[in-house]
Amino acid sequence: MLCEEILDVDTSSGPMAVLRKRSAEAVGLPKVVIFHDGPGIRTATHDYARLLAHQGYDVLVPDLYHRHGRLIGYEPDQRRADAKIVDRLWGMIWSMTDEEIQSDLDDALGAVGVADSERLGCVGFCLGARAVFRTMMRKPDQFLVGSMSHPSFLVDDENDSPHLSAHELSGRLFVGIGDADEIQSIEMQQAFFDAVAELDHVGVERFVAVGHGYTWPGHDNYDSSAADRCFAVTTALLAEVLDAS
């Protein structure tokens, strides 16, 4: 049986909702943070967090859109029906900064009393993949393992682009991307993949004829084979690193 709650956490930018899902019977479970993707926190986000919680983790999902409202999230049919929703989502995506997301992370961890010595993991989708990288680089002694699915924004023109320091990544990382990703193609991320190519603790898996958002049931590009593969690799990696603590 799962304990599911939504915490209201104070931040410097106002209240932020944080999903928390974990076994109701167990204590001291390893914690895993999920960084949501562009559509925000919706049914699929809750479902994925539950699946991860059933694997034996204390799962936290900060609402990264809290500066625009509480728990903004849109289902696939809503996005298909109204182009204005897609425009709004892109506006919120571009409004966020790495610093804001990391501040949200710290506030979420503080709200549940995470100790500096705890070993943590993180999982991110689309824009959340960039947050996974920033987190593992900023807190390498705490966030020891991460997973990215259909990642976005791993390469940009700024002097702190993730690909420029990716070779310094010390934690275990899995990346899954479709070779038909129409939002953030393999070519757009290639400089990042090149930077981690020689790192034995980083694995990149490419899925043939699979597009962006393949992890989510109901999404136009949902691919059950790729989604199941990513979940299996992610949970195996989390178990290997976190359950050994």
pTM as predicted: 0.96
What pLDDT, in 10s, does the model give residues 168-177? 999 999 999 9
What pLDDT, in 10s, does the model give residues 32-77? 999 999 999 999 999 999 999 999 999 999 999 999 999 999 999 9
d(CA 142, CA 102): 14
Name the residue ranges covered by the structural domains of the chain.
Answer: 2-242
Neighbour-count burial of 191, counting CB atoms closer than 10 A to its CB (0-12 exposed, 13-18 middle, 19+ buried)? middle
Helices (H) and strands (E) in the chain, counts: 8, 8
Q: Which value, to the nearest 10 degrees, does the dihedral of the CA atoms of residues 105, 18, 234, 155 take?
A: -50
pLDDT confidence tier of residue 244, bands split at 50, 70 and 90:
low
Class of domain 2-242: alpha beta
In the predicted model, what is the mean pLDDT of residues 120-144? 98
